[in-house]
Each structure stands twice: as structure tokens, then as C-alpha cells.
Amino acid sequence: MSRASRDPGRSEAGEPLITTLARLGVYALTGALLAYPLGRPGATVAAAAGAVVGAALGRWLARTRLRSWAVGPLLVVGLAIAAGLRHLAVGSPSLSAALGPASALRVGDALAFGTGAFASGLALRTLSTRQRAWALVEVLLLSFGVVQLTAAHRGGAINRPFTVADPILAAGGDPTWAFLTLGGLGALVVVLLLLSERSFFRALWHVAFAVGVIALLVFGARDFGMPQPPEGSPGLGLRGDAQASDRGDASGDQQRGGAARPPDGRADGKGTPPPTPPRSDDLEFRDDYSSSHDQVPVAVVLFHDDYDPPSGMYYFREGAFSQYNGRRLVAATTSTSGARYDDDIAQTFPAQATDVPDSPGGSTHRRFVDTTVALLADHIRPFGLAAPVELGPADNPDPRRFLRMYRVRSAVLADDYHDMLGAQVGDPSWPREVWDHYTEGPKDPRYHALAVKMVSTLPDDLRDDDVAHAFAIVMWLGEHATYSLKSNHADAADPTADFLFGDLTGYCVHFAHAAVYLMRSLGIPSRVATGYAVDPSARQGGSALLLSGANGHAWPEIYVEGWGWTVLDVAPQHTVDAPPPAPDRDLQRLLGELARGKSTVPPDVTADVQSAMASVRLWARRVGFAVLFAILAVLIAAFVVKVWRRVAPAVVPEHRLPRVLYRAELDRLAEVGLTRRRGESRESFAARLEAAHPAFVGLTQAHVGAAFGAAHTDLSAMRSDAARFRADLRGRVPLWRRALGWLDPSAWLRAR
């Protein structure tokens, strides 16, 4: 019984053909992915082709006597040739004259990328054929290609890379899912490449495992949401796990499907009393604030009215800190006598339209501006353009993308700051307790001395004006202090004093505290507010404004009678850090459109995509029908052949009977799953079946004799052998098994 260990389906190196082809495909993909962001489309195609040719030749090269170390110099030479070709194609005057400069550039690109990919593919395939460990480099290259293609998608930039994301957005899909799928497929290919097991079943197990992991990833992302952007603006306490604290209100507006997040099945569930939220809204002094400079979008603000602030910045107030605790300002608590402070700071997200208490309201100095805020990241409290007067829920058109949406009506400054001069600070109706609360500062006399010094430069007619005093303080700070994200005050007993009477270098928290302490030393009611501050130019002409973690800010505010709490920010003239860059214009527009619930692309593009989809569907249907018909035709043909082979013994002339009769019985055996192994002789096959089908031995002998020159073949004996064999088969094989065999159109293909 000879066992065939050399399968003809395997290539020379012992690798199944399908694996070889898959590997070439992976090389093509890797080459294309790596070349795609660097070159023109022609270069991408050339790189894919070069990588395939290189990989194919690498297999051959690995079997030559070339030393493995020589592959390195070979690669260097190949890359040098690639660079030289490009130089030659682009720099040669005759070529660019013949083709035109653009075509010359394209040709040069394609040549360079094709040759480079060829050299790299050749080197890598040679090494990895000789040593399997190099497969790791193959995998790393492919992974790198996928990652760098999708890296632009990071940091909330859902519109990148454009070529992949745009059509999906146009079709109303979520590109994130496409990238997740892409990543999953990439992982699958990588796993396949790494394993490429000789054992089919082991490979099957591993693939099943990999598919399971990927499925876990995808379903996990569906049920628990995408990874959240990292905490921006450390120390300002703008963001945090707001879900727990707002659970009670949130469940209230779920039936409206409005501002609340969709139910996400967290373990604590609904109805249980919300646990105390982690208080992350304390204003900490930090020495290194630079980690806040990330561009991850945290919210989109839609402006329903145009508004150009007199302060030169949009201030979105989220929290206020007015209570002096001996070291710094913290969020105010209700006093022992029941007085409430900073009531204009909304503590919870609105479940219904609510007026913000203690807000300035419409006055001659303020007008109303309506905005809608769509949160991309969780926040502790709602924030709004200073100063919010009314909050209300808003419909969330895309609950998967926007965690929460709410409407804000703000009473914004309509008049210039100059008009504030002469107004009274504070509110005469405040009780003593409130006055004390808003004017309490460090006992350090240096604050008052410095403040008096600042005020002394004012012209005589403003010498007694509190508002002018406040202006003088922030102007002095803006002139003399240096803005830096890195400072060294956090360890001091009074970090603000360390900043103000020290090197005067710090960030917004220092500035705000210093201004407030100085103002309070002069008896001006003031506080530190936190939130986001954005330059109006960031809108870039649109009505949507993208807020990122880098926009987090703290600023001083003073209370002016008739104006309410008013932003009075320091504008430092010396700064060692660049201001946060303007948000990505396309992303800002895209997210704005999404927040409005509108199509994100112009109608004609949508129509194009839809018509393309329609034609794709049409073609898919046509191809599907064609495939169906082809399968049907093949099935019918197979059955025709099957039936012919079965009935042929009755109709063929006698001299063909030994072959045809044997073939018919061979078909019967194949139908019940008994086939000759590859490399097994007919006699051995018959001997293997002899115990169960003794008549088949004689049949085989007669057939082989007729084929190899026996002088005489006893046809009647053969017929009787065949009849006995069929009787045996009926007796030994159950009916259902034979019936399955009758239905099998491919059995005769396995009869060998």
C-alpha cells in the first residue's frame, strides 16, 4: 500500500499553491499600501506589481547559492537604482520634452516605486523563504501599511483619509466601522501569513480563533462604544465621567430621544440611585500643562446667530471657582446661612428648557445669541457661550457619534468694554456674606501693594473707578507676565504668589488666580471661570465651531452691576507657546453638518454615490444571476455525465465493455465514499476493498487485463462479477447513504 506524500497540488518548495498566491497578494497589498500616501496612483500600481514580481523571483533566488548576507547590499543597490531612475526620468530634458513634464514626473514616480518595491520584495521574500523568522518583517510591513493609511483617522478626524471616508460618509455610513473592518481584515491576513500552517486543520483552528477575537473587537465596539478621546485640559476639570452623575436626569429624556445618550446597558442600570460622581472639577495648579495641547475634538458648537465678541474671543463657561480655601480658589459651596454662590453655573444637563438662575438676562448691554452644543466627549456640566441664560435639550441626530446635545441661549456682551467704565462692581443688594465671599483673598499684603501700584498709573479721572482698576490689573498682567505651558509654582505654599512675585511665568490658571487675587485685594468681586476659549477666526466663516482639548482655558471674571458676571481676561503679550492651531476646516464643517442632522456632502455627490450604488447593485444582480445559471448548467452537465456513465455498459460495443463496466462500478463506489487513493494501483484498491466487496477484485482484474494486453477477457464472467458486486453494495451500504450518492453530481469526478 503505497502512500503518496508528494501531492501534485503542492509546488516545489512544498507549499500549497493557494498559499503562494495568497502570499503574492499580500505582497501586492503591502506595496500598494506603502506607496499610496507617497506617490501618484501610477506609483501605487507600480509598487504593487513590483512587489509581486520581486516576491515571485525571491522564491527562486532563495534556492540559488546566493549568500544570505548578500541580500542586504543587493537591496541597497536596488533602492539606489530606483532613486537614480526617478532622478533620470524627472531630470532628463529630453524625456520631459517628449512626454511633457507631468507625464515625465508620473513615469519617474512609477519607475522609482516599481523598482524600489521590486528590490524590497525580492530581498524580503528571499530571506523569508530561507528563514521563517523573516515573516515577522513581512507582517510588520503590512501592519505598518494599514496603520499609516488609517492613522489620519485618529484624534476624532472622522473625515480622514478622504478617499476612504468620503464615499462612506456620502452613503450615510460611519467610516469608523469601515476602518474597524479594514483593521479586522488586516489582522486576519496577518494571522494567516504568520501561521501559514502546513496542517490544514490547525490553520483552521487558528483562523477561527482570530475571527473570534476580531468579532469580539467589533461587537465590543458596537456595544460599549468606540474608545473615548483622552482627557483634555488637565487641571481645568472640564471633562469627566458625567454619565453616573446625570443618570437620573438622563433617563428622564430618553423617551424623547433627545439630549440623552442611548441606553448602553451599563452594570448599574437605571433606577438605582446614582453614585456620587468623582469630583474631577477642581482647579489644580500644574507645572506641566503641555499635555493639554491635543487636537482631539471634544464638542461642536453651532451658532444660530452671528456674533463677534468685543473681547476678541468666544468664552464658553463651564465652571466657576470663587471660594478661597487658603491656597487657591475652589468651587463654592452653599454657606452656613444658606446663601448660594455662582448660581449661574448650571450643574446638570437640561432635561427640559430651563432658565439659568441669577443670569444677567437681556439688558441694554447684552443681547441673546442661540447656540447648540454637541458633545463628542463627556463633560461634567453643560457649558455655553458666556453668559448662558437658558438651557434646553436638543435632538441628537447621531446618538452614536454625539454623546449629548443641548441648546443654549446666551446673553452675550453687545457693548464694548469701554461702556463698562463708570459702572458699579458687585451688586448692592448682596448681603455682606456674599460680598465677603467674592472679595476674600490671601492675607499676603503684597497683593494689595502691587494692585495699588498698578492702579496708580491710571489717569486721574479713572483713579476711583473699580472697573478701570480691574482693567488696569489685567492689562498690567498681560504686559508683564509671560504665558508658558511649563512653569514651576505648583509646589509653593501659595502658587499664585510664587508666580506673581516670582518669575511671572505661568499659564491660564496662574493668570486667572493672580488677576482675581489682585482685584479682590482692591475689593472688586471676582472669580475664576473655566471652560473653552476660542478665537472667532477658528469658525473660518462657517457657523460651526469645533472645540478641542487644547481650547481648555481659565479666565478671571468680575461682577458689574447691570452687566452680571463679565469675562475680563488677561491677554499676555509674551508667550513662549504657540496658540492652539485652528481646527481642521473640513472636519469642523463635517461635524457641524452631522450635528445639524444634514447630509455631509453636496447633493450632487450624494446623487453620484447613490447612482453608483444603484449600478453596483444592478451589476451584482446580473453577476449573481450569471453565476447562478453557470452553477445550474454545471450541475446539469454533471448529472448528464453521471447518468451516461451509469447506463453506458448496456449500450456500448463489447470491446469497450471492460472499461465502461468497470468505470460504472467505480462510480458506484465513489458515490458511497470509496475512492482509490492517489498513487494506489487498481489492484491494491481492489485488495483494500476485498473483505467487503470480493467481486470487485475479479472485476478489476478483468479490466486491467483488457487494458494491458490480456489475450482474452471473459465478458460474461465480468458481467456476473459486476452483478454480484452490486448486490454486495446494496447489502452493505444503507439506503440513505446510497441515496445521497445518487444525488451527488460530483461523485464521478472522484471515481479515479
Partner 1 sequence: MTTTPFASTHPAKAAALGADLPEPPPPADQRRAALASAHAHVTRLRDRLRAAVRGRDEVIELVLIALLADGHVLLEDYPGSGKTTLARALGMAIDDSQTVHGLAPFRRIQFTPDLLPSDITGTNVFDVERSTFEFRPGPIFAHVVLADEINRTSPKVQAAMLEAMAEKQVTIDNTSHPLDALFFVIATQNPLDIAGTYPLPAPQLDRFLFKVEMVHIAREAELEVLAQYPKPSLELAAALPGVSRAELLGARQAVRAGVYLAPVFHEALVDLARALRSDPRVLQGASTRALVLTLPALQARALLRGRDYVAPEDLEALAPHVFRHRLEVGAGTRDVVEVVRECLAPQLERLAQQSLRA
Which residues are near partner 1 by CB under 8 A? 2-6, 656, 659, 662-663, 676, 678-684, 701, 703-705, 707-714, 717, 752
Q: Which is nearer to partner 1, 79 or 641 (CB)?
A: 641
Q: How far is the CB of 677 from partner 1 (least distance, A)?
A: 9
In the chain, the amino acid numbered 446 is R
CA separation (Å) from 752 to 646, 667, 668, 677, 741?
A: 15, 9, 12, 8, 16
Q: Which is nearer to partner 1, 120 or 129 (CB)?
A: 129
Helix, coil or strand: residue 689? helix
| Residues 323/336, Cβ–Cβ less than 8 Å | no
CB of 676 to partner 1, least distance (A): 7
Yes or no: say if 348 and 249 are a contact pair by the CB < 8 Å rule.
Answer: yes
CA 532 – CA 547 distance, rounded (Å): 7
C-alpha grid cell, residue 402: 454625539
- Shortest Cβ 698–partner 1 spacing (Å): 8
Closest approach of Cβ 131 to partner 1, in Å?
Answer: 20
By C-beta, is 164 or 710 nearer to partner 1? 710
Report the C-alpha gap between 50 and 52 in whole angstroms: 5
- Straight-line distance from the first to the last Cα atom of the chain, in angstroms, rounded to the nearest whole number: 16
Separation CA 479–CA 40 (nearest Å): 51
Nearest CA among 522, 526, 531 for reference residue 560: 526
Cα angle for residues 253, 241, 485 (degrees, 5° grid): 130
SS3 560: strand
List the grid coordinates of 560.
458689574
Residue placing its CB nearer to partner 1 in the complex, 593 or 680: 680
Minimum CB separation of residue 629 from partner 1 in Å reads: 31
Q: Which three cell numbers stand for residue 53?
A: 514580481
Q: How far is the CB of 651 from partner 1 (least distance, A)?
A: 15
Q: 3-class SS at 159?
A: coil
Q: What's the CA gap between 416 and 395, in Å, rounded?
A: 35
Nearest to partner 1 of 64, 276 (CB atom): 64
Query: C-beta of 644: minimal distance to partner 1 in Å?
Result: 14
373: cell is 452644543
Nearer to partner 1, 29 or 718 (CB): 718
Residues 76-95: b if buried by 16+ CB within 10 A, e if exposed: eebbebbeebbeebbeeeeb
Q: Which residue's CB is nearer to partner 1, number 351 or number 686?
A: 686
The 314-321 sheet, strands edge to edge = 384-385, 314-321, 526-534, 552-560, 564-567
| Residue from 89, 193, 205, 85 nearest 145 by CA | 193
DSSP label at 677? P
Q: Are 412 and 366 in contact (CB under 8 A)?
A: yes
E strand or H helix at 314: strand 314-321
Phi, psi of 288 (to 5 degrees): -115, 110
Please, are residues 274 and 247 in contact by the beta-carbon 8 Å criterion?
yes
Residue closer to partner 1, measured from CB, 482 or 720: 720
Q: Which residues lie below 8 Å from residue 407, measured CB to CB, with a gap of 6+?
A: 353, 370, 371, 372, 373, 391, 392, 393, 394
User: C-beta of 183: minimal distance to partner 1 in Å?
Assistant: 43
Query: Among residues 7 and 398, whose Cβ is nearest to partner 1?
Result: 7
Pick the closer one to partner 1 by CB: 432 or 712. Answer: 712
Cβ 696 to partner 1 shortest distance, Å: 14
What is the per-residue DSSP string for 219-279? HHHHHH-SPPPPPPSTTT--B--HHHHHHHHHHHTTTTTSSSPPP---TT-SSSPPPPPP-
**Closest separation in Å from C-beta 196 to partner 1:** 23
Q: Which is nearer to partner 1, 321 or 685 (CB)?
A: 685
Q: Specify the amino acid at residue 362.
A: G
Shortest separation between residue 665's beta carbon and partner 1, angstroms: 12
For partner 1, the closer CB: 213 or 697: 697
Q: Which is nearer to partner 1, 401 or 676 (CB)?
A: 676
Residue 507: what residue type?
A: Y
Cell, residue 416: 464694548
Residue 126's alpha-carbon distances to 14, 60, 62, 132, 420, in angstroms, are 16, 8, 5, 10, 78
* For partner 1, the closer CB: 6 or 443: 6
Residue 316 or 696: the one with the smaller Cβ distance to partner 1 is 696
At its nearest, how many Å lie between partner 1 and the CB of residue 72? Answer: 29
CB of 712 to partner 1, least distance (A): 5
Cβ closer to partner 1: 400 or 663? 663
Orientation of helix 135-150 relative to helix 175-195, angle to 10°? 180
**What is the closest distance, in whole angstroms, from the C-beta atom of residue 746 to partner 1 in the complex?**
17
Half-sphere exposure of residue 566: CA atoms within 13 angstroms, side-chain side:
30
In angstroms, what is the minimal distance from the CB of 180 to partner 1? 48
State which residue, 215 or 707, has the beta carbon closest to partner 1. Answer: 707
DSSP reduced 3-state for 323 = strand
- Minimal distance in Å, beta carbon 668 to partner 1? 15
| Nearest CB to partner 1, comparing residues 3 and 443 | 3
Strand, helix or coil for residue 466: helix
CA distance 362 to 562: 10
Residue tagged 450615510 (cell numbers): 172
